[in-house]
Structure formats: structure tokens, C-alpha cells
Amino acid sequence: MKIGVPAETRAGERLVAASPASVAQLIKLGYEVVIEAGAGTSASFLDAQYEEAGATLVDAATAWGADIVTCVNAPKPAQIKLLREGATLVATMAPHSNERLVASLAKRGVTALALDAVPRISRAQAIDVLSTMSNVAGYRAVIEAAENYGGMFTGQVTAAGKTKPATVFIIGAGVAGLAAIGAASSLGAQVRAFDVRPEVAEQIESMGGTFVDAPEAQQEISADGYAKPLTAEQQAAAMAVYAKEAANADVVITTALVRGTAPTTITADVVAGMRPGSVIVDLAASGGGNCALTVPGKTVLSDNGVTIVGYTDLTSRMPRHTSTLFGTNIVHLMALLTPGKDGAMVLDLEDQVQRGMTVAHAGEVMWPPPPVSVSAAPAPVAAQGPTEEELAEKARLEQEVALATARRRNWLYGAGAVAALLLLALSDQDTVKHLTVFALAVIVGFYVISNVKHSLHTPLMAQTNAISGIILVGALLQIGSEDAIVSTLSFIAAAVASINIFGGFLVTYRMLGMFRKDA
């Protein structure tokens, strides 16, 4: 089958649905890839790079006439007419608010897969274009904020004085919010973030932010992955949090966008309470904006000097990386739709991921899809505890094993003591002295080493190396003895002491290397 990648025609759009790298991966799946000439130029992908990856350059009509067409934005009516009956379209379509488009595609007999309708479950994360776009937008929001803010994000201490770090307040800790938290933190700002879902506190802190805890303004997560609607009391408490934090912030980034709708989180009064020179970056401008003063697509200045950035093309302002990630999402989707890796797409409507993003098929409108729960895992069954009789029997068996072990240990100790007494009784006076010294050395050494803290074991090696050196010298003096037993013991002592010395010096060398700062 043939995959077509046409150029985007929306005004100002710089993205493309495939990068040269993703084209090569699609070809490995068995597909033939055709791409409209010049489609990737705005994303810094040259036609020659696509040809090198194995794609064929074609005109717009040929790209739209392929078996499978993938693009970033929804097609216009003129482009829908170029789609052949039975073709598959893979694009973002906003099916929840674009019923006319879905109906047109169904009437055309096109199988339409909406990339922005991927179910929010773990298995579908690799093809979740919304997460890809949100991640880029969150990062770019910080760049736009830094551009419009009249100071540095990080604090500075110089001979001329010091500057305080910027305070950044982020509303929402979804993919975009977390990306913004990470970017702002890496620039040295003091980042505070709030989300109505309390379970994201750990994620916020892991990205370098401080979670604004306001239990009276928070709600639990719902079955579709979004936060449940707030009650009137919770909404009022949340608005109070927004007002307080925004008044103390230099930069505010809003990210609340649910199914294309942007709730108001920053009112005109909140903007009026912010400091002159502050910046608001509204990531929900495409849905009307979280800020009451946002003008989608533009940057405006409030009466009190607050800059409000309402760009709707943040992802297009980073076209190279966004297109690369978008193309990777397409590759993961086509890998799911091509189980045989033979270039033949197979749509399985029994698969909840494929069904969830299928909005038109075989002349029928398939939107909305059946609901999908966040987790299909069954609830864990509580393990039944043991009965009192079983616990008593277990305790009895454990006691018997302990008694048997103690008896066996006592017998071994007794046998060892008898053997030691016999050895002493049958040995001459010099041997008895040596054995006594050996026994005392073992006892003293055991208690000395066992009572040393683990953190001191490495420094202790310097002392043990010295002792091992003495042992090595003594062993070398005795290794030539005429007595075979003395000579054998001397050889063993020399070998063990040498291993201990070299090993000790190696560990000490590595430890010292940890504190050495290379020039």
C-alpha cells in the first residue's frame, strides 16, 4: 500500500506529518511512501533527504490520492475531494466539534482515524499526538515567557549586585504543564504549580516545581483521564488560589484545555492585581483562552502593563522537533495497524485503541466511540488470611526447627572444644603457645572488625594493609622452612596477604579518585 504525505496548507503552518527518519521506518513496515515536493521545507527537511530515505516526490493530487494519507491538520473540502473512496486518512480532526468534517469523510467512503481522539490509556501513549503537541507547547511557552519578560529567570550574584530569580506560576500539571515546569526550573526560576488533581503533586516536585497545596480546591480524577468538574465551592477556592499566586508571580502559564474548551482561570480582576511587567502565556488560546483578556493568535498588553501571549501556533514555532515527534507517532500507529509488517493495513475495530480513534468507516460515522476506562485491570482479590489453627501449627514447626538447629550447633561446639583440647594435650609447649596466640588473635580481630561502622571500612584498609604487610614479611621468612607444614602455611599466608594488600590498595585508589578533580 502507498502512504501519501501532502504539504500543510493552513496559514503559517510549518509542520509536516513525516520526517526523513519516519519515512525510512514506514518503508521498513512494507509501505511505499510518496511525499509532496517541498512539504518539509519549513521544518528544515529537504526534498533530497526524503529521497535518500526512500520516499518519492510527487505533486499534491498524487499525495492526496494515496491509499493512506497522513497530515497534521484536518483536510479542507477541496482536499477531501482528492481522497479516493476506500482510502484511509490519518490526521487531527477535532471530531468532538467538527461534525461536518466527519460526515463529509464518511460520505466520501473514507476511513478516518483522528489522531486527537486516541484513548487516554497507557497502551496508546506511543501514538498520542496530543501529548506530543502538549509537550512541545509547554516547553515553547517558557521560551515565549522568557522573551517577553523584562528580566532573567535565574538569580544572579555579581560585583554590581544581585538579582532575584523569577517566580513562575503554572496552572495545570498535565503534559504541557509538566514540560513547562521542567523548562522553567532548568532556567533557574522558582516554579510553583497547581492542579485540581492532588495526585500530581509528586510529578510536579519531580520536575523541580513546588506544589501549591489547596485541598479545598481539588477534585479526584475521572474515568476518562480528565479531572471531574469542580463544585461551586471548589471552583471558588481554585479561583482564590489563582488570584493569590498570580499576584506574586512574574510569569503565569495556563494550560487548562479540556476537549477543545478552555475554562477561565485568570479573570480581568486577577490580571489587574498582577505586577507591571508580568507575563501570562495562555496555552489554551486555541480554545478561547484561560485568561479573560487573551486574544487568540496575538500578544496584547493590559492597562496595568501585563503582557498576555495568546499564540496558537507554539508547536509550529519549533517545527523540526515537533514534526520529528509527530512522524514517530505515525510510525507507531502504522506498526499497530500492520501486524504482518507487509505493507498491508489491517483495521481491527475490536481493539479499543483503533476503535477509539476511528471516526468514520465504510460510509458510516463512528463518532463518538464507546467509553474506555482508564484501566481494564480487575480489582485485586483480597488474600484470605490463615486460620488460628494454621498459625499455631506454623509456630510449632518453627519452634521445632529452632530447637534442632540449636542442638546441632551445641554438638558442633562441643566436638570442636574436645578436638582443641586433644590438640593441646598432644602438642609440645611451643605449639601450645602459638595456638593460644592464634586463638586470641582471631577473637580480638573478630570483635574489633565487627564493631567498626561500614562507612569506616575503607579507611580501615590502610591499617589492614600494614598488618598484611607484616604477615607477608613473616611468611616470606618462614616459607623456606624444612618443616613441610610450616612451609605450606607460610605459602598460604603469603598468598592471602598479597591478595589483601593489592585489593586494599585498589579500593583505596578508587576511593581517592572520587575526590580528585581533573584539570
Contact of 166 with 153, CB cutoff 8 Å: yes
CA–CA–CA angle 380, 386, 387 (5° rounding): 135
Q: Which of 125, 156, 427, 463 is catalytic?
A: 125
Q: Which of 156, 226, 269, 348 is catalytic?
A: 226
Burial 233-253 (b: 16+ CB within 10 A, else e): ebeebbbebbbebbeebbbbb
239-to-111, 174, 256, 273, 316 alpha-carbon distances in Å: 43, 19, 13, 13, 31
Cα–Cα distance, 146 to 144 (Å, whole number): 5
* 212 secondary structure, DSSP code: -
Burial label, 87 (beta-carbon count in 10 A; 0-12, 13-18, 19+): buried
Query: Can you tell me whether residue 313 is helix, strand or coil?
Result: coil
HEC string of 430-484 equals HHHHHHHHHHHHHHHHHHHHHCCCHHHHHHHHHHHHHHHHHHHHHHHHHCCCCCH
Q: Which of 47, 49, 67, 120 is catalytic?
A: 120
Burial label, 471 (beta-carbon count in 10 A; 0-12, 13-18, 19+): middle
Q: Is 131 a catalytic residue?
A: yes
Q: Which of 116, 128, 282, 313 is catalytic?
A: 128
Q: Is 242 a catalytic residue?
A: no
Of 283, 274, 273, 279, nearest to 251 by C-alpha is: 279
End-to-end CA, the chain: 59
Contact of 44 with 66, CB cutoff 8 Å: no
Q: Which of 131, 190, 218, 352 is catalytic?
A: 131
Q: Is 396 a catalytic residue?
A: no
Q: Is 31 a catalytic residue?
A: no
Q: Could you give the count of Cα atoms lying within 13 Å of 306 in the half-sphere of its Cβ?
A: 31
Q: Could you give the count of Cα atoms lying within 13 Å of 335 in the half-sphere of its Cβ?
A: 14
Q: Is 447 a catalytic residue?
A: no
Number of H helices and E strands in the chain, helices first, is 16, 17
Task: Note the helical H segments in 212-318.
Answer: 232-247, 268-272
Task: Cite the active site residues.
Answer: 120, 125, 128, 131, 226
